[in-house]
Amino acid sequence: MILVASGCGSISLDCAKPEVFCVGLVTEVGRRDDHAYNQAAWEGIQQSKSDGTADWAATIETISSRDYEENIRVFSEAGYDVIVTVGYDSSTATYAMAEEYSNIYFIGVDQRPSESQTSQANLAWLVFPEDQLGFLAGALAAQMTTTNKVGAVCASDAWPPMKRYGEGFIAGALYIDPAVNVTITYHNDVWLDETFTDPEWGKAAANSLVGDGADIIFGVGGITGSSALVAAVKQNAFVIGADIDEYYTQSAAALHLYTSVVKLIAPSVSGLIQSARDAQVLSSVFISGEYLGQVGLAPYHSLDSSIPDEVKLRMIDLVNGLRSGEIQSGIPH
C-alpha cells in the first residue's frame, strides 16, 4: 500500500468529524498518475475539492490485487465519507466493503455488479456505453479510410461489453458509409481472462487486417488491443485507441493515432461525489446502482492538421447526438 495525500497531514485528518467531508481513492493496481483510469478518477476527486464539495482527499496506490479490501478498509476505519475504487478487479471488494460499511458512500469506476449482487443504497457502479465508444471509432474510421476497408481488434465477445464495442464500431462505420467494408476480429480461442493480455494475438490480428487492405484499425481490450495499435502502425496503417487517451500510453503508435474514444470518468466521479454530499447534508437520495457515464473523443494530437474540418465537425455532432439520444447506435446497453 502506498498512501498519497492531497496535501500536508495524515490520512485521518479530521475525517471522522461530521463537518469534514473526505474522499479516498483506492487505485487499480498501479500509480495514481497513470494517464489512465486512476488518474481520471483522481481528477474527478480534485474537481470536487476545487468546487468545495470535498474538504480532503487522499489516495492509496494498490500494489497487488489481493490488497483491495484491506486498502478500502483503511479509509473506512478512518471515517472517510466517500471511497472511490477503480477497475473491474476491485468490484468484489468494493461490494463487500459497501455492505459492511453502510454509512459510507462507494463509487466503483468501470465496475458492474454480478448477477448474484443486489443493489445497495450506498454504492454506485460507474459504467459506460461501450456501443457509443465503438460507434464513434467506426464513424471516424469510415470518414478517414482511403481503401474503404477498416477493422477492429477486440478481446472476446463472450464479455458483453466487448461485443458492444465491436457491434458499435460496425454501426458507426455503416452510419457514415453503408458501402464501407468493416471487419471485427474477436479473440475467442482462449479463456476469457486471457483475451485481454495477449499481445502476440493482438499483433497478429492487426497484421492480418492490414494485410487484407484495412488502413485504419480500432484496438480495444487491454494489452491485446493496445498491441494491435502498435502493430498496425508498424505496417503504416492509422489507428484509433479506446477508453483512455492512448496518445500518452502507446508512444510507439502515437504518430499514427487519429484519436481515442474515451470514457469521461472525471466529470462522472465528480457528479457522484456531489450526490453523496447532498445525500449526507440535504438528506437527498444518493445516485446508487448503475450510473451511465458519458463518452467523448480525445484530442487529435499529432494528426490534427490532417483531419478535414468537416470531419471534425461531424464528429462533434455525433458525440452530441449520442449524448442527447438523437442518434442511436442500435446496440442494447
Residue 274, all three cell numbers? 456531489
Half-sphere CA count of 262, side-chain side, radius 13 A: 22
Distance CA 235, CA 200 (A): 15
Which residue type is seen at 187?
A: H
pLDDT tens, position by position, 60-110: 999 999 999 999 999 999 999 999 999 999 999 999 999 999 999 999 999
Using DSSP, state whether 233 is helix, strand or coil: helix
pLDDT tens, position by position, 202-215: 999 999 999 999 99
Residues of the chain with CATH 3.40.50.2300: 2-127+264-292, 130-263+300-324
- Determine the CATH number of domain 130-263+300-324: 3.40.50.2300
Q: Do 192 and 159 contact (CB within 8 A), yes or no? A: yes
User: Average pLDDT for residues 123-143, to the nearest whole number?
Assistant: 98
Q: pTM score, two decimals?
A: 0.92
Residue in this structure with the C-alpha cell 496506490, named with its chain if needed: 61
DSSP state of 302: G
Q: What are the phi and psi torsion angles at 323 (to 5°)? A: -65, -40
Look at residue 224 and tell me whether its pLDDT is greater than 70.
yes
DSSP state of 194: G
pLDDT at 5: 58
Angle between helices 130-144 and 309-324 (to 10 degrees): 160
Rounded to the nearest 10°, the torsion over CA 246, 251, 254, 256 is: -120
CATH of 2-127+264-292, picked from 3.40.50.300, 3.40.50.280, 3.40.50.2300, 3.40.440.10, is 3.40.50.2300
User: Average pLDDT for residues 145-162, to the nearest whole number?
Assistant: 96
Distance CA 130, CA 150 (A): 19
Distance CA 97, CA 122 (A): 10
Strand partners, 222: none
Look at residue 10 and tell me whether its pLDDT is greater than 80.
no
Distance CA 238, CA 225 (A): 14
Angle between helices 160-176 and 130-144 (to 10 degrees): 40
DSSP state of 55: S
* Pairing label, strands 257-263, 238-243: parallel
Among residues of the chain, what percentage have pLDDT more than 90? 91
Residue 14 confidence class, pLDDT cut points 50, 70, 90: confident
Look at residue 220 and tell me whether its pLDDT is greater than 50.
yes
What Å distances lie between residue 55 and 20, 81, 203, 235, CA to CA? 6, 10, 46, 50
Q: Do 22 and 76 contact (CB within 8 A), yes or no? A: no
User: Average pLDDT for residues 251-277, to the nearest whole number?
Assistant: 97
* Pairing label, strands 149-154, 181-186: parallel
